[in-house]
Structure formats: C-alpha cells, structure tokens
A = this chain, B = another copy of it.
Amino acid sequence: MVKKQLIMEKSLELFAESGFEATSIQQITERCGISKGAFYLHFKSKDELIYSLIDKFMSEFIADIERSVSEDKPKEELLYNFLYTTFGEFQQQANFAKVFLKEQVLSFNKELFERFHMYTTIINKIIFSVVQRQFKDVNLNMQLDLLFTINGLSKGYGELFLIDNYNVDLDKLCKAIVEKVTIIAEHATIQFITPDYFASTNQHMNITKEQIVDLMIEVMGEVEQDSIVHESLVLLRNHLIEPTLSDVLIEGLLKNIRSSSQCKWIAYLYQIQLEQKK
C-alpha cells in the first residue's frame, strides 16, 4: 500500500506543475520509478487517481476546519479559527492547493465538477454556521452577504500564497480579514444575496438511482467485508431500490458511511437523491 501513497504524492507534484490534463501517466510512473502496469494495479484510471486525491485531501481539510470551529470554541474566535486553519492548510499542502484552485474554478469533467461542487457546498455550510454564531444579531440576508464577503476576501488574499517564497504572517492576515468582515457586519445596509440563490446551486445535480447503486457496489468491493461501513452500504443500497427503513435509521446509516473518506461522496449524493424524492 506504500506504493499507492507514492503515486499520489508524485502525481500531485506533477499536477501542481503542469495541471491534470497535461500530465501523462508516463510522467507519473517515471517520477515514481515504477512501470505503467504498476500504476494500474492501484488505480483503475487516471480519473480515479484525481478523485482519490481530492477525496483524501478535502475530507482531511474539512475535518480540520470542522474541528477548528466546533461548538466548544469561543464565538468571537470562530471566523479567525476558520481562516487560520484554511490558510494554514493552504500553506502546508501547497501542491494540492494549486491543483484545487486550478481545477475548481471551472472543471469541465462532469464528475470532477460535481465533486468540487459538493466540497465547496460543505465548506459554505461551515462558513455559514460560523457566520450564524459569530454574527447572530445580523439578519439572515446580510448573513448570506457575509458568506460571500468571507469567500471573496479569502480568494483575494489567498493569491498571496501562490507566490513562491512570499512569507505570509498568518495571524495578521486572519486578523485583517476578521476585522473587515466584522466592520461590514456592523455597518453594511445593502443586502444583495437572497436565499433562493442556494436553492439554485443544488439543482444542477441530475444523478439517477442506478448510478448511485453502481457507485455503492463499486465501493463495497473496496471496503472491508462485514465492517460497519460495508453493512451500512448494503442496507442503504437495499433501501434505495426498495424503501423499507425509516428516515431516522437512514440518517444513522449515512453517518456510519461518512466515517470512511471513500463514502463521503456517496453519502452526499444519496442525501440529495432522497431530498429530491420528497
């Protein structure tokens, strides 16, 4: 399994240097010092490699920021914590950050696009929960504007990290952004974003039950037999084909599989599917 790690590391380097599409499997195997065949022992395709990379890094990243803004943290430090963790990760995983930034803006591969969409949706939800707690006196629509403001400022200042060797004082950067957001929360009056925006972002997911079942069967082959994750997948699959279980049971099963990074994606699609059914 150590070779799989090697492939992921080296390919990430190459993707950061020249982009995903422009990097060939030849190049990856050469840099790893392995043969082409060995690559396909670990990944079914080039696409699967990038999905693995994204899932691995993003689920770690999300776990980190979730921890940094958890319920027990002081309310007035939430935004600072979020930013500090985000930029810290950004700095540490510079290669992944580059790939993410590049491919995320507009990913033309549909599956890739939807994966990115999921992760940004999750992150947006986290930011919004931060806003709701730290700026709870602000009204809903302005909270949505704060979400956009935070996203925007992060992107604007985030560019500094793309300059090699430019040393950023993380603490000061985060304080500068927190100050700006706080000032806007206190003084701004024009609310631009309305909740229907969020309704519109989730609509362009059009995935069939069959596609999800296929995905589940695929992952079931990779997951340890008789584990909680595996059994949960079986039950969820059966429920999708022939609904038998109550909402609360499904909720628990989804929590079960979300503990595996390979399944986060499935859990997300599954939930959307259920919501559409209603």
Chain A contacts to B: CB under 8 angstroms = 17-19, 21-22, 98, 101-102, 105-106, 108, 145, 148-149, 151-157, 159-160, 162-163, 166, 172-173, 175-176, 179-180, 183-184, 187-192, 197, 200-201
Determine how close the nearest CB of chain B comes to the CB of A120; give it in whole angstroms: 10
B189 near A179 with CB under 8 A, answer: yes
A101 near B105 with CB under 8 A, answer: yes
Interface contacts beyond A172-B190, A183-B183: sample of 6 additional A-B pairs, CB < 8 Å, sorted by A: A102-B106, A173-B192, A176-B190, A176-B191, A184-B184, A187-B187
- By a CB distance below 8 angstroms, the chain B residues around A188 are 176, 179-180, 183
Determine how close the nearest CB of chain B comes to the CB of A117; give it in whole angstroms: 11
Given A148-B157, A176-B190, is A18 in contact with B108 using a C-beta cutoff of 8 Å? yes
A–B Cβ pairs within 8 angstroms, 17 of them = A19-B108, A22-B108, A102-B106, A105-B105, A106-B162, A145-B176, A148-B153, A148-B157, A151-B156, A152-B152, A155-B155, A160-B197, A172-B190, A173-B192, A179-B189, A180-B188, A183-B184
B105 near A157 with CB under 8 A, answer: no
Determine how close the nearest CB of chain B comes to the CB of A50; give it in whole angstroms: 14
Given A22-B21, A180-B149, is A155 in contact with B156 using a C-beta cutoff of 8 Å? yes
Per the bound structure, the CA–CA distance linking A19 and B19 in Å amounts to: 12
**A152 contacts which of B19, B154, B179 (Cβ < 8 Å)?**
B154
Determine how close the nearest CB of chain B comes to the CB of A182; give it in whole angstroms: 9
